[in-house]
Amino acid sequence: MILGLDIGGTNTDIVLLDKNEFKIFGTIKTKDFDLRELEIDYEAVGIGIAVWFKRGKMVLAPNLEKIPFIETEKPKILENDAKCFAYFSANTTGKKNVLALTIGTGIGTGIVIKGELYKGDGLAGEMGHTFVGGRRKCKCGGYGHLECYFSGWAIGDAKSRLEDRSIYGTRSFKLFCKSVAAAIMLLNPEIVTFGGRIGGRLDELILKKEISNLVPKVFEPEFRVIRDDFAVAKGAAMLARDVLGKRF
């Protein structure tokens, strides 16, 4: 039985993977989370967290105020949350080459190539922190990054803009689509998936139309919005299963 956690800026989602079936344990505030206090039996744990890892070391957490207590003697893997979402995307869509984007507080990016997570020197992806113009200050310390325009913290009233659909008419959404198109040209993924509290509620047909217009026809991938708020926690558990498998 493998515990899967998604430690985000506000909430921590908890699932348990037991013989290929997921049990949802729910969500608690990250500020109140402590792994020692969790009354769930588990053999290993996969933790997806909104942190940048370079060569396995945490280097920055632009959207996380404080990292909760996550020490344990059980086998554990710690991975960037968007990379866990990418792993979940590849496993649930059955695709081997995936570009996965989470849009919640910030923008996270995960890349799967030939069924394996691609991390470069650790930080590969991070499309949210590419320069798109202007002088808006980013949470990472930079300026003019995509996340300064299209993210939960930048949009502010994202929930109502999704409900009245005004989000699709914004310059920010166009900037986002341009950035996705550029990433498609670089990676030639079979599928692009969207998740997170905002990304998981975007309109799949509009994304497909807007982004496909920006890439040559032969590059056009599938587009899938994954409406599962536990996708990162599930991906973390799957990753722990596959990486740690033989150790417990």
Within 6-103, where are the H helices?
A: 81-93
Strands 21-29 and 11-18: antiparallel
**Binding residues for Zn ion restricted to 113-132, rule: CB under 5 A:** 129
> For residues 79 and 60, is the Cβ–Cβ distance under 8 A?
no
Q: What gap in Å lies between CA 153 and CA 170, rounded to an integer? A: 16
Maximum C-alpha span of the chain: 52
| Total interface residues for Zn ion by CB under 5 A | 5
Give me the 145-174 binding string for Zn ion, x by CB under 5 A, dash otherwise: x-----------------------------
Instruction: Work out how close the CB of 147 gets to Zn ion at its nearest, in angstroms, rounded to a whole number.
Output: 5
**Binding residues for Zn ion restricted to 182-241, rule: CB under 5 A:** none
Residue 117 or residue 138: which is nearer to Zn ion going by CB? 138
Strands 191-195 and 222-225: parallel
Site stretch for Zn ion (CB under 5 A), options 98-106, 139-147, 154-162, 190-198: 139-147
Buried b (16+ CB within 10 A) or exposed e, 11-38: bbbbbbbeeeebeebebbebeebebeeb
**Applying CB under 5 A, which of residues 14, 64, 140, 183 lies at the interface with Zn ion?**
140
Residue 122 or residue 142: which is nearer to Zn ion going by CB? 142
Instruction: Work out how close the CB of 102 gets to Zn ion at its nearest, in angstroms, rounded to a whole number.
Output: 15
| Strands of 90-187, DSSP E | 98-103, 107-113, 116-118
Residue 51 or residue 240: which is nearer to Zn ion going by CB? 51
Site stretch for Zn ion (CB under 5 A), options 135-143, 165-173, 194-202, 218-226: 135-143
Residue 141 or residue 245: which is nearer to Zn ion going by CB? 141
- Under the rule (CB under 5 A), what is the footprint of Zn ion? 129, 138, 140, 142, 145
